[in-house]
Structure 1
Amino acid sequence: MMFESKQAHLQFLVFSLFLLYWHQIPIGDQVVGQEIQFDYRNGNEKGPEHWGELKKEWAACKYGKLQSPIDLSDDRATKVIPSLEDLQMSYKPCNATMKNEGHYIAMEWEGDAGSVKINGTDYFLKQCHWHTPSEHSINGIRYDLELHMLHQSPDPNNKAVVALLFKIGSPNPLLSKVHNGLESMIFTKETQLELTDPSEIKWSSLKFYRYIGSLTTPPCTEGVIWTVNEMVNTVSKEQLELLKQAVHDYAKMNARPSQPFNDRDIILYSPLLRQPVFQN
């Protein structure tokens, strides 16, 4: 009986150590053995060039004519509007959850976090997420990071994305505020954040591009209104590495390649003195 008791105790100890060890394995390493629906590795059978072949619902990734991201420049603009009347942001603090989606880190707002008004329609903020390096380029230059703020109108089929670009430099204030939550993404898939104000994602330029594109991950749905800020913000090297460390290994570089331009219209908003219209 004493031998059996010691054996049971030893088995319990080994099991406890296993659970402790498993808990400390980063999320990026736990993906081994799990099915990956798509990835970002060029030349891989599930890489970006094959997304449209993996599922019939993803056909737009291959055959769509309004795919994102694209290269942006003043020279490609088909229309210049010298005002910001079509950029009315009305955000407010709301509870949020940070999630590790495997292919990117997302921050989802759980209630009414406000909206952006485009062409007279309100698009309500749902979540934001990050891509490294940037997906959109300006004059052929890709930067270190891109933030996407995903909005949706009352019709769930109507989506609008506001995008900001970043280069290595001073720490980003929003990422500094949610640092603990971001750090926890290395070991867990979801964590609650304190009350988070989307207005802290600073719109830092009077100049932006707008065009009709698509989601940049499968199913690559088209008809998305893109608004890309021309100003390049800053993010620290440490913050950028933390975003990379948290995701799965195949997504440490999780930017979709640039897509064909296909002669689509780009509107350049470039007022000289007017400020964006922010509402409380």
Structure 2
Amino acid sequence: MVKLIIRDDDCNFFTRPEDLEYVYRSISDFPVTFAVVPEVTDVYGGCPDTINNTTPRPVGENKKLVTYLKQKLEEGKCDITLHGVYHGYKFDKDGKKIPEMIWRNNEPDLCENLGRCKKYLEETFDYPINCFVAPSNRILKEGVRAVYSNGMNYSGIIASSFNREFSLKSFVNYIKRWSIRLFLGFPYPGVMNYGTHLEMNATNRTSYDFLKKLFHYCDKHDMSLAINVHYWHIRDNEEHYKGFFDFIDYALAHGAVPTRMSDCFK
């Protein structure tokens, strides 16, 4: 049995409930896990809804969105994780984007900042937040420490640079993660235990054949499978995601259980 998770990143102040309804209209009962930005600025090159916004906009000020998501939470039809602080990028001298959890890595108040954002989402949605998602899926050691110090798990995967604190558990996870990548060609699915917290990656590949192959691996090894998408990209590139929705239908027909990300960490 495969627990199947859809992790949808970038839900923020500018998100319209009608867009979420439209994007997931064919699987309206599937409990999507929304990675929510608490105080969004401009997600450069990403979410087009935030373009040219330079002032942090708290998601709680979008009352329509909050009401919509709270209703979904009450019905058990969605999940919420913390997705950065502003989701803001900085740029190096060559104009390359630096994701938020990279440039924030050495901030002395990083742990307090994530704790503040976690509390804000919990109060806004009256819902416990037990998972963090890094903008652009990139994070360093201090960021991971700030995540688990605030009682959260992490949706992501250890990088080739070994961006985790060294321990026996992290070393074993590193070997498992890269062995699967080397021999099978996909990132390690399922939950990894670091002792301090749990981690679960969400693949960002949405082709039918890739997901079907990954699904059967997870089914054989009794693992959960999470897929990372962005509602705004599905909305604006609907045909590109036909394989993704075809796969969801296939997986459900073959016994997959729609699951919230937070439930995989229990």
Indicate the TM-score class for this superposition, using the shorter chain for normalisation. under 0.3
Greater RCO, CA 8 A, separation 6+:
1
Quick check: which has more Rg, 1 or 2?
1
As a proportion of its length, which structure holds more helix? 2
